[in-house]
Amino acid sequence: MATYQLKDERSFNEVYNLYSAKIYANILKMVKDPDLAQELLQDVFVKLWEKRALIDPEKPIEPYLYQIAKNHVYDHFRQGSTDKKVMAYLRAITSESYSHIEEDLMYKESVQQYLTALEQLSPKRRRVFTLCKIEGKSYFEVSNLLGISQSTVSDHLLKANSKIRDYMTSAEIIGIILVLFTL
């Protein structure tokens, strides 16, 4: 193995011409991609040029070149692994925030449908429903407040729940049909 002093471009070109094909073949075996192997080969020789002052001219240069090449390939794969982890993290965050936005929109839409369903009730039934279900009053309190029997309160609630459920179900079906027709 020859030793070299890389003091000028001529000696550098001589080393490049002598070893680049061997180093390229070695890198290609590791990465299995000719374009990537060529790019890494260039990086190896750039690194050699940058570190030329640190190279011991009494030692053979070929093992040094193979070591630089191996380190560059490992760095490339490590960087690729890190990039994949970062991309997976970004996808997860984006997906999570998208899910939150989607859930928020669905919630707001459901609330709007619910309010619309309440508006469909008769004024008395809406009042009974609001007092019991939204304000949390007991049947007894509502019957005293409105001057109706507890069984009438119960009847209003049963019919209100049924009407709201029917409206919400039909609104969901209409929403699904609209989505299907827009696809």
Across the range 86-97, mean pLDDT stands at 61
pLDDT of the residue at 23 = 94
pLDDT of the residue at 175 = 60
d(C-alpha 148, C-alpha 160), whole Å: 16
Q: Which is nearest to 144 in space by CA: 157, 134, 131, 133? A: 131
d(C-alpha 146, C-alpha 148), whole Å: 6
Q: Indicate the range of 1-5, 116-120, 154-158 predicted with least confidence.
A: 1-5
pLDDT of the residue at 3 = 59
- The answer to whether 40 and 16 are in contact (CB under 8 A) is no
Domain ranges in the chain? 9-87, 121-182
d(C-alpha 48, C-alpha 62), whole Å: 11
**What band does 51 get if pLDDT is binned at 50, 70 and 90?**
confident
Q: Class for domain 9-87, per CATH?
A: mainly alpha
Q: What is the pTM of this model?
A: 0.46
Q: Indicate the range of 7-16, 110-119, 152-161 predicted with least confidence.
A: 110-119
Tell which CATH architecture fits domain 121-182: Orthogonal Bundle (1.10)
pLDDT of the residue at 143 = 92
Mean pLDDT, the chain, integer: 80
